[in-house]
Amino acid sequence: MLSGLTVSERHAALFVLGALALVGLAMAVAGQGDPLAVHGYIVLAFSLALGFAVLSVLFAPEPPESRLSEYYDDPTRVGIILSLAWAVAGMFVGVWVAALLAWPELTFVDSAWASFGRLRPVHTSGVIFGFGGNALIATSFHVLQRTCRARLPDQFSPWFVLIGYNLFCLVAATGYLMGLTQSKEYAEPEWYADIWLVIVWVVYFLIYIRTLQRRKEPHIYVANWYYMAFILVVAVLHIVNNLAVPVSFGHAKSYSLFSGVQDAMTQWWYGHNAVAFFLTSGFLGMMYYYLPKRAERPIFSYRLSIISFWGITFMYMWAGAHHLHYTALPQWVQTLGMTFSIVLLVPSWASAGNALATLNGAWHKVRDDATLRFMMVAAVFYGLSTFEGSFMAIRAVNSLSHYTDWTVGHVHAGALGWVAMITFGSLYALVPWMWKTERMYSPRLIEVHFWLALAGTVVYVFAMWNSGIIQGLMWRTYNDSGTLAYSFIDSLVAMHPYYIARAFGGLLFLAGAVVCCVNVGMTIRMARRAQKAEAGGDVPVLAPAGE
C-alpha cells in the first residue's frame, strides 16, 4: 500500500514522521519520572516503525497515472481491519470489567493497571473511539467518494488521519492503564493527546471540504451532511471541553480552565453532544448510505432526512443540561435542557421512521439477509433509545434514571443496539465491495453473529433496566422511623444476579464480534486467492462455508 504513494507523498510522510519522532523524543526527555515520558517513548517507537516502513519503499517506482481514474480505497480497507481489532479488544475489556463488578475477587493480576477504575475507560474509549471512530473514518472515505463521484484529493492525508487517529487511541488507552485521566465523560485523555487529535481532526475536515469541492454531483448527498456535522461539531466540542492548563510541559497532568458548575455544564454540553455528533450523526451518515444501497431502494423521503438533520443539529445543542437536574446549575437552565431533550424526539424519530419506511416493500430481503437485518434492528434501537432518552430527561424520571443502572442500560441499548448494529451491518455490506468479492465468505456466520449480537444486547439491557429500577426503589424506601429501609450494601447484594446477566450478555456480544472478525478475515483471504488465480497462479479454490 505504501508503494501506492507518490514519491513526493513518501517524502512528506517521512518529514511528518521525523517531526513526530522528535516530539516523542522531547516528551521522553522532558517527562523523566512522569507518565509523559512513557508516552514519549511510545510516540517515538511508533514514528520510527512507520518511518522504516516508508523508507523501505522510498525508491519504488511512481504509481501509474491510471490510479487517478479509480477511487482511493486503501485507507478504508485498513480502517475496517483496525475497527474490528479495536472492537474485539474493547469488548473483551468490557466483559472483564463487567465480570469484576459481579465477582470483585476475579482480579488475577494484583496490580493497579488491572483495577476496575483503570480498565473501565479502556473499554469505553476502545469501543467508542477505536471501534466506532475507525468505522466512521473508513466508511466516510468510502461514502464521500461514491456520492461525490470524486477521488480523495491526495493519498497522504487520508493515511495521516487514519494512522494519526489510531496513535491518539493508543496514547489514550495506555494513559488510562497508567492512571492518567481528566475524569471527563468521553474526554479522558490528557492535554497533549487532545492537541494531537485537534491536528488530526482538522486534516480530516480539510479532506472532506477538498473532496466536496471536486465533486461531480450537483447536490451533496444526505449522508455527507451527517458526516460533515460529525466532523465539524466534534472538533468544536473537543476544543472547548478540553481547554486546560498543564502543570508543566514536563508533566502529563493538567487542570480544566473551568471550575464548579461551569465545568459540569461544559462537560455535559460536550458529553451529550458527543452522543449527538459522534455516536448519532456519523452513524446516521452510515445508515443513510448503506441501508438504501443494501435494500436496493431509494431513501423513503430525502426531504424528511434533511428536516431531521437540522432538527437534530439544533435541538441537541441545548439538551445537555438535563444531565444536571438536582445540582447547583440554575433550574431554568435544567428546564431548558429538559425541554429541548423532549422535543428532540421528533427529529430523531423522523430518521428512525425514514429508515424503516425505506424498507417498506423490501421486508422479504430483511428476512433473508442478515446484513440488512443488522441495519433494520439498528434503526429500531435508534428509535427506542431516543424515546427513552427523551423520557429520561424529564425531571421526575431523571431522579430515578440518571443515578442508577437504568442509565447504564440506556447507554448500552444505544451503543450495542444502534451504534454497533449499524456498524456491523455497514461493514458486512462494505467488505465485499472493498475486496471485490460477490459476497462475504459465509452468510451463515453473519446469521450467527446477528443472533449473538441481538441476544447479547437484549440480555444486557434488560438486566440493567431491572437492576436500575430495583436500585432506585430500594434507595427510596423508608421505614416507619423515616430512615432508609435498605443499606447500600443491601442494594449491591440485590444487584448481583443482574451483574452476572450483564457479563453474560456482554460475552455473547463479544463472541459475535469474534465471529465477524473470522468472517471478514476469511473473505479477505478468499479474495486474495481469487486474485492470485486470476493472475495465473495454480491455487486451489477455497469454497465458501455458506455453500
Predicted pLDDT at 284: 95
357, exposed or middle or buried, with CB in 10 Å at 0-12, 13-18, 19+?
middle
Alpha helices in 35-73 (DSSP H): 35-55
Residue-by-residue pLDDT tens, the chain, 547 positions = 777 889 999 999 999 999 999 999 999 999 888 999 999 999 999 999 999 999 998 888 888 888 888 999 999 999 999 999 999 999 999 999 999 999 988 877 788 899 999 999 999 999 999 999 999 999 999 999 999 999 999 999 999 999 999 999 999 999 999 999 998 888 999 999 999 999 999 999 999 999 999 999 999 999 999 999 999 999 999 999 999 999 999 899 999 999 999 999 999 999 999 999 999 999 999 999 999 999 999 999 999 999 999 999 999 999 999 999 999 999 999 999 999 999 999 999 999 999 999 998 889 999 999 999 999 999 999 999 999 999 999 999 998 888 899 999 999 999 999 999 999 999 999 999 999 999 999 999 999 999 999 999 999 999 999 999 999 999 999 998 989 999 989 999 999 999 999 999 999 999 999 999 999 999 999 999 888 887 765 555 555 554 4
Predicted pLDDT at 68: 84
Predicted pLDDT at 33: 86
Q: Which residues pair with 256 in a beta bridge?
A: 244
> C-alpha grid cell for residue 366?
430483511
- pTM, two decimals, is 0.94
Measured from the Cβ of residue 432, the count of other Cβ atoms closer than 10 Å reads: 17
Predicted pLDDT at 547: 44
CA distances from 269 to 226, 262, 277, 348, 414 (A): 19, 10, 12, 19, 19
Q: Are 318 and 337 in contact (CB under 8 A)?
A: yes
What is the per-residue burial (b if ≥16 Cβ within 10 Å, else e) of 39-73? bbebbbebbbebbeebeebeeeeeeeeeeeeeebb
Rounded distance between C-alpha atoms, residue 315 and residue 236, angstroms: 16
Rounded distance between C-alpha atoms, residue 112 and residue 131, angstroms: 25
